[in-house]
Amino acid sequence: MAGATIRDVARRAEVSVASVSRALNNLANVHPDTRARVLAAAKELGYVPHAGARSLSLARTHAIGVVLPDLHGEFFSELVRGLDREASARGYHLLLSNIHADHDHATKALRTMHGRVDGLVVMAPYAGSVAIEDLLPPTLPTVMINTPRAHDGVSLRIDNRAGAEAMARHLAALGRKRIVHITGPDGNTDAQERLDGFRAALPKDIDLVVVLGDFTEPSGEAAIARLHDDGVAFDAVFAGNDLMAVGVLRALHQTGRAVPQDVAVCGFDDVPLAGYLSLTTIRVHMTAVGARAAARLIDALEGCDTGAADEWITPELVVRATTVTES
Amino acid sequence: MAGATIRDVARRAEVSVASVSRALNNLANVHPDTRARVLAAAKELGYVPHAGARSLSLARTHAIGVVLPDLHGEFFSELVRGLDREASARGYHLLLSNIHADHDHATKALRTMHGRVDGLVVMAPYAGSVAIEDLLPPTLPTVMINTPRAHDGVSLRIDNRAGAEAMARHLAALGRKRIVHITGPDGNTDAQERLDGFRAALPKDIDLVVVLGDFTEPSGEAAIARLHDDGVAFDAVFAGNDLMAVGVLRALHQTGRAVPQDVAVCGFDDVPLAGYLSLTTIRVHMTAVGARAAARLIDALEGCDTGAADEWITPELVVRATTVTES
DNA sequence: CTGTTAGCGCCTTCAC
DNA sequence: GTGAAGGCGCTAACAG
């Protein structure tokens, strides 16, 4: 018997809808007999509360909206897993909305969140998507992930600078003197911060060559090929992300240079592939970021407002065989 | 001005709520002037329709529930991407619910979907999770992905048998005579079907050794080590999935056997890593599966019921360097 | 302890 | 072309 409503239950249990509601929500002040009759009736009817109606009258949906760009698989799934873990542990659902390039579509998707979710977790790493902030229903509590611009809600930031600095120190400690950095695409905040941090932490006696990449593997490969053709010498490459580092490894292999003896190679992110290739990198624990984002949002929703508006997640240096030889 | 309601708009535009509703939903029979006034008022108030209330009165949420087990990252993200692409293209949101081991939790999560979504996409590859079918609010249209048991809704199945058969033919054509198959965990339907298909399509003059694995990389590695210790000879290994195949490659490397000369190696799934390792495998295009699932569900929801109740997705053989030498 | 009633915000007949 | 009124399913005062 599908679609049974609270009134059906009330009729069958021969009580009022109010009693049914109270019994089903474990409120006090319900006679045990009444409660039993209600429970029985509900079970017999296969009654399932209508969550939509419930939210409407409670003004509470127990759902959080997740707005993500169309990003790389690894990140996406890890982030969502972290969000989901925390959310479901605290009784919340996730309403997903990937934002593609299409502006109108995005606007509509965002507006449609109003009245379906209690708050939003938004990730928008590209400076170009600035508008997103303005599209958000301003009434919804929001946690931003990695969004540079100031806003009124909570913001979780990955400390790209700290990660890049750690890498700079690592390479410096290894005695590398002519280092190439391949950047991410223009306008990408992560890319910019990684470059800034790296440059800032590099001792003055080390040469830094910066070349433009776009976070894809081919761009890493092409960058090295170009340097090779130009006869540029270097003994280390810090790629703006792991994918490009993979391209770098490939290019170096083709030109017959030994890693790490001739050239040390490292990336950023620690995607699963990095482990297989023994790539030295900076680990960004996206599962933790997701869990933290959900936790902060739910805290805010439930009134227990913890911590600072800006929270930084520090990534971790993972040293593997592309920068140091095992011994 | 957040939280403006339709009544606020009506008041400001000096019309009735009915007219506001009509104007905002582009219904006919609204005087241009009225429409303009309504639009202006809505914009001034920053009015955003309350999706929850809208669903309640329309009995239509334009959201689809996605119920997944806690599965491997690659699959998860690809499947969800496919679902999201199709869903958002047709104006639907995704409500996520990962089902963990905890039965009660799962039940509650599923029941909470009633009234929040118009239909469900469910993936439950393990025979052990049989109960899931019974937990589903029976009133919701459902598309099952890879669920063996019959049910009343639509079911999308990955044709594991066909994939395994293709692999059997491939190895046979290469002239391999003593083949090892490493299975997935007991009770896993995919694993069982892959074994069955493989065995069925293998010519009689080929020896088949079946060993138990569990879909993890170490289990693939361990399986080969065991065979090696036992002195079992073989010239090909078909791992039940790519992860185990990676373990196999590692183990063979350690025992000094050449791939593919001494031993041909292949897997199943075509995870991204498989491409990097040049692993011959069977590609299961999960993005397509997700998109198809969403498409079928939405078709059903919107009355244009296409196709058969059971739809099979045929995976594709991808031949790479672990079974054939480049030339 | 229990029932009645009035909304939550929106859409939709049904009259005008 | 427009407004008034009822209802989607549920919860939350308020009386009894």
- Identify the residue whose Cα has the smallest distance to the C1' of C5: A18
| Spatial contact of B196 and B161, defined as CB atoms under 8 Å apart | yes
Q: Which nucleotide is nearest to B35 (CA to C1')?
A: D1
Each residue of B217-242: pLDDT tens digit?
999 999 999 999 999 999 999 999 99
pLDDT band, very low/low/confident/very high, at B318 (cuts 50, 70, 90): very high
For residues B275 and B290, the answer to whether their CB atoms sit within 8 Å is no
pLDDT value at B30 more than 70: yes
The domain segmentation of chain A, as residue ranges, is 1-59, 160-284
pLDDT tens digit string along B260-282? 999 999 999 998 889 888 999 99
Chain A residue with Cα closest to B250: A276
Query: Taking phi first (over 0 means left), then psi (-120 to 50 degrees means alpha), and beta for anything else, what does residue A278 get?
Result: left
Nearest chain B residue to A246, by CA: B276
What are the structure tokens assigned to B80, written together? 């969800």
Predicted confidence (pLDDT) at residue B187 exceeds the cutoff of 70: yes
Model-level pTM?
Answer: 0.88
CA–C1' A190–C16 (A): 62
Question: Which positions on chain D have an atom < 7 Å from some protein CB?
Answer: 1-13
Looking at B37-46, B138-147, B180-189, which range is the least confident one?
B138-147
Give yes or no for residue A9 having a pLDDT over 80. Answer: yes
CA–CA gap between residue A281 and residue A279 (Å, rounded): 6
- Residue A17 CA to nucleotide D11 C1', Å? 10
Q: How many CB pairs under 8 A join A and B?
A: 141
CA distances from B92 to A10, A251, B55, B142, B292 (A): 34, 44, 12, 15, 14
Chain B: give the shortest CA distance to residue A61, in Å. Answer: 9
* B302-314 per-residue burial string, b: 16 or more CB within 10 A, e: under 16: eeeeeeeeebebe
A233 touches B at CB < 8 Å? no
A272 CB neighbour count, 10 Å cutoff: 14
Q: Does domain B1-59 have CATH number 1.10.260.40?
A: yes
Check residue B69 and give its pLDDT: 82
Could you tell me where the DSSP H helices lie in B25-120? 32-45, 51-58, 73-89, 103-111
Q: Strand D: which of residues 23-52 in chain B lie with Cβ below 7 A?
A: 28-31, 33-34
User: Residue B139: what residue type?
Assistant: T
Q: Give strand letter and number of the nucleotide nearest B48 (CA to C1').
A: C9
For A221-234, the pLDDT digits (tens) are 999 999 999 999 99
φ/ψ (deg, to 5) at A178: -125, 100
Probe site for chain A from B88, B97, B217, B273 (most A CB atoms < 10 A)? B88
Mean pLDDT of A52-59: 96
Q: Which chain B residues are within 8 Å of A274, Cβ to Cβ? A: none
The pLDDT score that the predictor gives to residue B151 is: 64
Which pLDDT score, from 0 to 100, does residue B327 have?
64
Q: Are B314 and B250 in contact (CB under 8 A)?
A: no
Q: Return the closest-CA partner of residue A176 out of A199, A198, A208.
A: A208
pLDDT in tens, A247-260: 999 999 999 999 99
Q: What percent of chain B has pLDDT over 70?
A: 92
pLDDT of amino acid A1:
46
Q: How far apart are CA B317 and CA B315, in angstroms?
A: 7
Mean pLDDT of B41-67: 96
What was the pLDDT predicted at A273?
Answer: 85
Say what the pLDDT of residue B135 is. Answer: 65
Q: Which of A52, A246, A272 sits opposite B115 (nearest CB)?
A: A52
Looking at beta carbons, which residues of chain B come within 8 Å of A56?
52-53, 56
Among partner residues A56, A98, A113, which is closest to B84 by beta-carbon distance?
Answer: A98
Buried b (16+ CB within 10 A) or exposed e, A41-51: bbeebebbbbb
Closest CA of chain B from A166, distance in Å: 28
CATH of domain B160-284: 3.40.50.2300
Tell me what pLDDT residue B107 has: 83
User: What are the residues facing B97 on neighbouring strands?
Assistant: B67
Using the Cα atoms of residue B211, residue B216, residue B220 and residue B225 in order, give the sign of their dihedral.
negative
Taking contacts as CB-CB distances below 8 angstroms, the residues of chain A near B74 are 73, 77
Instruction: Kindly state the average pLDDT of the residues A89-115.
Output: 87
